[in-house]
C-alpha cells in the first residue's frame, strides 16, 4: 500500500479524505448489495452479505487490537467498536453499563435509502449477529451477543435495531 500522499496532507485535508473514504466505503457496500440483488435475488445478496461482514468484522477487530492496543472485556470491545467504520458511518449509539453494552441504531443509512427508493428493508439480523459475534470474539472470547431486535423483526420508528453485549461469567 502506497500511503505517501497521506504524509503530504495537513490535518484538515486528511480529515476530509477520511470522510470521503468512509462515504465511499458505504457507497461501495450499498451498490454491491443492490447489484447482487439485481443479478440474483435478495436472499442471495443477504447471504453473501452475511459472509462478507462476518469475515470483514473479524479482520477489522484483529487489526484494531494490533494497531491500537485494545484490551479485553466490554471496555476493550467498545474501544475497538469506536474505530469500526460502520460505527462512524451509521452513528451507533453505545451505552456502557457495568455488566452490559447496549448498541442502538437510530438511523440506518442503508435501510433508509432502500425505503426511500421504494424497496423493502433487507434482513440484516443474521449478518449483524455474525459480524458482532466475530468482532467481539477477537476482542474477548467471553463476550456474548444478543439481538433485541433487527430487520426483519418489527422495530420502533425511532430506531432500526438494538443489540446487547455481555461477558460470560466464568
pLDDT in tens, 66-122: 999 999 999 999 999 999 999 999 999 999 999 999 999 999 999 999 999 999 999
pLDDT for res 33: 94
Domain count, the chain: 1
Write out the chain in H/E/C secondary structure: CCCHHHHCCCHHHHHHHHHHHHHHHHHHHHHHHHHHHHHCCHHHHHHHHHHHHHHHHHHHHHHHHHHHCCCCHHHHHHHHHHHCHHHHHHHCEEEECCCCEEEEECCCHHHHHHHHCCCCCCCCHHHHHHHHHHHHHHHCCCEEEEEEECCCCCCCCCCCEEEEEEECCC
The CATH number that applies at residue 86 is 3.30.1380.20
pLDDT for res 14: 97
pLDDT for res 36: 97
Residues 145 and 132 sit within 8 Å (Cβ to Cβ): yes
What is the grid cell recorded at 48? 453473501
Residue 169, pLDDT above cutoff 90: no
pLDDT in tens, 19-51: 999 999 999 999 999 999 999 999 999 999 999
Ranking 11-15, 18-22, 119-123, 127-131 by mean pLDDT, the lowest is 119-123
pLDDT for res 41: 96
Provide the angle, in degrees to the nearest 10, between the axes of the packed helices 42-68 and 125-139. 20
pLDDT in tens, 145-167: 999 999 999 999 999 999 999 99
Rounded Cα–Cα distance for residues 22 and 86 (Å) = 8
Q: Supply the range of the domain harboring residue 93.
A: 4-167
pLDDT for res 170: 74
Amino acid at each position: 500500500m502506497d500511503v505517501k500522499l497521506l504524509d503530504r496532507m495537513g490535518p484538515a485535508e486528511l480529515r476530509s479524505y477520511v470522510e470521503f473514504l468512509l462515504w465511499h466505503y458505504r457507497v461501495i457496500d450499498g451498490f454491491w448489495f443492490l447489484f447482487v440483488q439485481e443479478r440474483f435475488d435478495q436472499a442471495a445478496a443477504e447471504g453473501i452479505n452475511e459472509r462478507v461482514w462476518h469475515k470483514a468484522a473479524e479482520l477489522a477487530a484483529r487489526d484494531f487490537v494490533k494497531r491500537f492496543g485494545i484490551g479485553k472485556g466490554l471496555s476493550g470491545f467498545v474501544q475497538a467498536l469506536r474505530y469500526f467504520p460502520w460505527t462512524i458511518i451509521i452513528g451507533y449509539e453505545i451505552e456502557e453499563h457495568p455488566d452490559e453494552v447496549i448498541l442502538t441504531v437510530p438511523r440506518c443509512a442503508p435501510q433508509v435509502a432502500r425505503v426511500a427508493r421504494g424497496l423493502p428493508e433487507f434482513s440484516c439480523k443474521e449478518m449483524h449477529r455474525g459480524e458482532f459475534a466475530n468482532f467481539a470474539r477477537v476482542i474477548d472470547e467471553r463476550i456474548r451477543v444478543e439481538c433485541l431486535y433487527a430487520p426483519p423483526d418489527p422495530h420502533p420508528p425511532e430506531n432500526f435495531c438494538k443489540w446487547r453485549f455481555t461477558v460470560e461469567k466464568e
